[in-house]
Amino acid sequence: MSRTPERLDAFPTHHIAGFGVRAGRPLPFGASRVPGGVNFSVYSAGATGMTLVLYRRDAVEPLAELDFPPEFVTGAVYSMTVFGIDAEAIEYGYRADGPFEPEAGHRFDRQQVLLDPYATLLHGRDSWGGQRRPLRSGIALDDFDWEDDRQLRLPSQDLVIYEAHVRGFTRHPSSKVGEPGTFAGLVEKIPYLKELGVNAIELMPVFEFDELDNDRLDPDRGEQLRNYWGYSTVGFFSPKAGLAATGRLGMQADEFKNMVKQLHRAGIEVILDVVFNHTAEGNELGPTLSFRGLDNSVYYMLTPDGYYYNFSGTGNTLNCNHPVVRGFVLDCLRHWASQFHVDGFRFDLAAILGRAPDGAPLPNPPLLESLAADPILRDCKLIAEAWDAGGLYQVGSFPNYHRFSEWNGKFRDTVRRFVKGDEGVAGELATRLLGSPDLYAGRAPTASVNFVTAHDGFTLHDLVSYNEKHNDANGEGNRDGDNDSASWNCGAEGETDDESVLALRARQLRNLLLLLLTSHGIPMMVAGDEFGRTQRGNNNAYCQDNDLSWVDWRLADTNADLLRFTRAAIAFRKAHPALRRASHPRGHQGTGWFPEVSWHGEQAWTPDWSAGRRLVAAMFYEHGPHGHDCVYLAANAHWDGRELELPGLPDGVAWHLFADTAQPDGNDVHQPGAEPQLTGDRIWVEPRSTVVLVAKQTDVEE
Amino acid sequence: MSFTTKVHSDDGVVTIRLTGELDSRSAPSLNEVIVEATAGTVRRLVLLAEDLTYMSSAGLRCLVFAHQKLGRGVDIVLVGATPEVAETISLTGFDRSLVMQDPVER
């Protein structure tokens, strides 16, 4: 058997602090296993010296401190291979020497042991809410048996995205999983997701964050609230240990990879919600964890006198378009796409990613251009939350390079206002149903990620059950959270046993779901909305690590009809290419029955979107390799019912009823493919209800 | 604590008894033992784990190593793993590389 010859660089040339070492390799950054040891590489433009600090796992005091000799420095990169250490058994950090001159942007502090920005594991929060130890960098074993797994590369127009919090999804006892609140727990719910029909799961932050980083108190119980959502990243390359059942063993990366692999086997893509607009270090009063001590003036947008710009609303703003930070963000996303087979990213407060170091919006932001053109990221979905907390609102104008889709906040607002009965919204709703061609002209409908609810704001149930937010439990006297939710409680605030109110809410929920799932673009829903999850009126549950946020799976039984309705609506979308267009409608194509979209009203072919009408009726048509596909949608947000004339169909084809949200539970929806035929050429649409029809061959009489 | 192995081969069934702690220090030696023991024709690799007190992330990788070395046609059976080891293997998906069995009477 032949053996690979030993490498010349597999032996130490120096001894420092008791360890055999040699000049390391600058690339890759971070800590990587090499023959005989570990290669460490970290960069700092402003540091005057650097020390590698090694610890045994869980030890309080360092095992050794190794100063980088000058001959181990290449440019601004400090690299050293340390021999004879066991990657599994150590933790590490760095001390960076340099000036503390805040007004000049420098905040070096040799007393602090800093996290490696490229650390693939972080130790110190090994289980959720567990003992608080100093955070330290660790080294993940990066090999994994992927078998033949790869990114699924589903066509964007076919996606149905399901937004979920890893912990909240299975933490409630009713989830009945073996390891509640973890990646492994989520794996146990894959059969449920498959049956629901969603084919992409968008995970709220999974990069290591500190859930204990929240000073506010629960006003009733006096307990410290948590940072439950985790939009405050500590380790950008490390999956959060507290979200893994095996975090205490340092195997969170393996558990995460297994989750991705199992989701892929079920045909479900994995999209990560990534937070590159700020870090967990806060402003000048916040903790020094990593970036501030390594190169404050590089990583953060600073005012001329050295304070932090705050376009994120959290104290600091990552200096995304600095060339070094661009490289860092790109390395990070490549890591998740290549090492973890992640299918896409949703960028939190993405408008910040288009700002210059002085905060000015850039017309051609280098970071976004790099991400859009990157070869490793080519098959990743890129989704921008196209606004920030500094007032930059870019829905429809985000620098997209034909790669970035956007969370379409205007879809959310328009659908909410239409369904609750606001005047003069019908015309705008018509545009939103088509994938918002007003915002995305020259692009595909998939530029628009359509949603009615997201983690941020009311749940779908609460949207039809509360006029006002009820955020007292957040400890800020109900001052936090959005004040303009365009919600309507249907006649009573919150819990009620008034049958007429409950019936109207049930109908409104279905109206919202149907409009979401019949619109062109990429629909996104929030975990639990399919069976009426409530946050009891809280529209900003970022700190609620309890049953207010956790998905209560008992509701799947209580609201089984709503769940069945949602499943059918997703299946209907999958069955109808006319609803999943890859391009904006272009009118009549010369062949086939109809234009690709047409508008109707009380009279067929005659829409009436005047202010008081509150009615939108549309026919979506596609003539493709599978034949004719034709769907009719009528949404009546008025308190009076309407009789509508239906567009005529060719001989041998008739309208069949898929859904009527005014029908009682059980008859509100029919299984796709088994829709009953309608008689006559008119339909009655009840007050505040939505009807969806499909054109099919007439039933053959025996 | 040290790690030792004891190999027994019989008509295409290779049995390796594992004793002690299997971690990143001992994993390379187990990989070598697996390579040597399976040099001939192998139908089945049995790993006896009742006396294995600890298996780390690197230790688990020996299972995948064996799986990849022997190919999909060869059964790899892990017998008598402690509940903690067994749970770790399944939570991280390594159980898809092998069959886990309760210990049999010796």
CATH class belonging to A156-577: alpha beta
Would you say residue A515 has pLDDT above 60? yes
Portion 262-281 of A in contact with B at CB < 8 A: 262
Write down the H helix ranges in A246-303.
252-265, 291-299
Distance CA A280, CA A230 (A): 10
Residue A338 confidence (pLDDT): 98
pTM for the model stands at 0.96
Q: Is A481's pLDDT higher than 80?
A: yes
* Mean pLDDT lowest among A59-68, A520-529, A574-583, A660-669: A660-669
Active site residues of A: 348, 385
Indicate yes or no: CB of A88 within 8 angstroms of CB of B67.
Answer: no
Each domain of chain B, given as residue ranges in start order, spans 3-101
Q: Report which of A301, A309, A360 is spatially closest to residue A325, judged by C-alpha positions.
A: A301
Q: What is the model's pLDDT at position A702?
A: 39
Amino acid at A156: S
Paired with A14 in beta bridges are A21
In angstroms, the first-to-last Cα distance of chain B is: 25
Q: What is the pLDDT of residue B71?
A: 85
Q: Check whether A1 has a pLDDT greater than 80.
A: no
- Residue A251 has its nearest CB partner, among B57, B64, B68, at B57
Is B56–A88 a contact, with Cβ atoms under 8 angstroms apart? yes
A–B: how many Cβ contacts below 8 A? 52
Q: How far apart are CA A235 and CA A206, in angstroms?
A: 10
Interface contact B24-A89, CB threshold 8 A: yes
**Is there a contact between A86 and B68 if contact means CB atoms under 8 Å apart?**
no
For residue A257, list chain B residues with Cβ-Cβ distance below 8 A. 93
CB A239 within 8 A of CB A184: no
Each residue's pLDDT tens digit, A318-342: 999 999 999 999 999 999 999 999 9
Rounded CA-CA distance B17/B36 in Å is: 15
Task: Check if the beta carbon of residue A199 is closer than 8 Å to that of residue A269.
Answer: yes
| Region for residue A424 given its phi and psi (left: phi exceeds 0; alpha: psi -120 to 50; beta: otherwise) | left
Tell me phi and psi for residue A447, to 5 degrees: -65, -20
Q: Which residues contact A360 (CB under 8 A, 6 or more apart)?
A: none
Nearest-10 crossing angle of helices A499-518, A426-433 = 50
Per-residue pLDDT tens over the stretch A402-436: 999 999 999 999 999 999 999 999 999 999 999 99
Please judge whether A249 and B25 are an interchain contact, meaning their C-beta atoms are less than 8 angstroms apart: no
Most B CBs within 10 Å: which of A249, A260, A261, A262, as the mutation test of the B interface? A249
pLDDT on residue A551: 98
State the fold for domain A8-138: Immunoglobulin-like (2.60.40)
Q: Which residues of A touch B64 (CB under 8 A)?
A: 143, 145
Q: Do A145 and B64 touch (CB under 8 A)?
A: yes
Residue A5 clears pLDDT 70, i.e. is over it? no
Preferred mutation among A38, A90, A149, A254 to probe B, highest tally of B CBs within 10 A: A254
Q: Is CATH 3.40.30.10 what the domain over A585-697 is classified as, yes or no?
A: no
Report yes or no: B91 at the A interface, CB cutoff 8 Å: yes
* A258 touches B: beta carbon within 8 Å: yes
Locate the DSSP E strands across A150-263.
161-164, 200-203, 207-209, 233-239
Residue A11 φ/ψ region, left for φ over 0, alpha for ψ in the -120 to 50 degree band, beta for the rest? beta
Q: Does residue B106 carry a pLDDT above 70? A: no
Burial bucket for residue A686 (CB in 10 Å: 0-12, 13-18, 19+): middle
pLDDT mean across residues, chain A: 96
Tell me if A246 and B68 make a contact (CB, 8 A cut-off): no
Tokens of A654: 């008739």
Determine the distance in angstroms separating the CA of A2 from the nearest CA of chain B, rounded to an integer: 14
Residue type, A70: P
What residue ranges of chain A are covered by domains with CATH 2.60.40.10? 8-138
B47 in contact with A, Cβ within 8 Å: no
Compute how many other C-beta atoms are within 10 angstroms of the C-beta atom of residue B8. 12
* Model confidence at A486: pLDDT above 70: yes
> A370: part of which helix (H) or strand (E)?
helix A366-373
Long-range contacts of A10-16 (CB under 8 A, 24+ apart): A10/A34, A10/A35, A10/A36, A11/A36, A11/A83, A12/A83, A14/A69, A16/A66, A16/A67, A16/A69
Helices (H), A460-559: 460-463, 499-518, 555-558
Q: What is the pLDDT of residue A2?
A: 54
Question: What average pLDDT does chain B have?
Answer: 89
Q: What is the DSSP string of A409-447?
A: HHHHHHHHHHHHT-TT-HHHHHHHHTT-TTTSTTS-GGG
Domain B3-101 = CATH 3.30.420.40: no
Band (pLDDT 50/70/90 cuts) for residue B1 is low
ipTM of the complex: 0.90
Q: Which residue has the tokens 């120096």?
A: A14
